Amino acid sequence: MCCFSRHVESVSNTNIFARSSSNGRQYLVYSMTIQSKEDLAMILPIPVPSGSPDDAVKFIDLKGYPD
């Protein structure tokens, strides 16, 4: 579940896809429809091993792939 940094009017159509990959890697895809009257941040807590470097998580923007 995610949190938001400011007030949200509504959140719907949430989809979560998670799978293991090779070399201990994992993929997590999170999509939703959100309505808000102001810019905000979505905060999605994800577990990482203790002592992981700051770049242990890579974000991939899938906006160009609506389907």
- Which tens digit of pLDDT belongs to each residue from 5-64? 999 999 999 999 999 998 888 888 888 999 999 999 999 888 888 999 988 888 888 888
CB 49 within 8 A of CB 13: no
Burial 9-28 (b: 16+ CB within 10 A, else e): eeeeeeeeeeeeeeeeeeee
pLDDT for residue 60: 87
Helices (DSSP H) in the chain: which residue ranges? none
pTM, rounded to two decimals: 0.67
Where on the phi/psi map is residue 13: left (φ > 0), alpha (ψ -120 to 50), or beta? left
pLDDT for residue 54: 87
Q: What is the C-alpha to C-alpha distance for residues 19 and 54, in angstroms, rounded to an integer?
A: 22
pLDDT for residue 9: 96
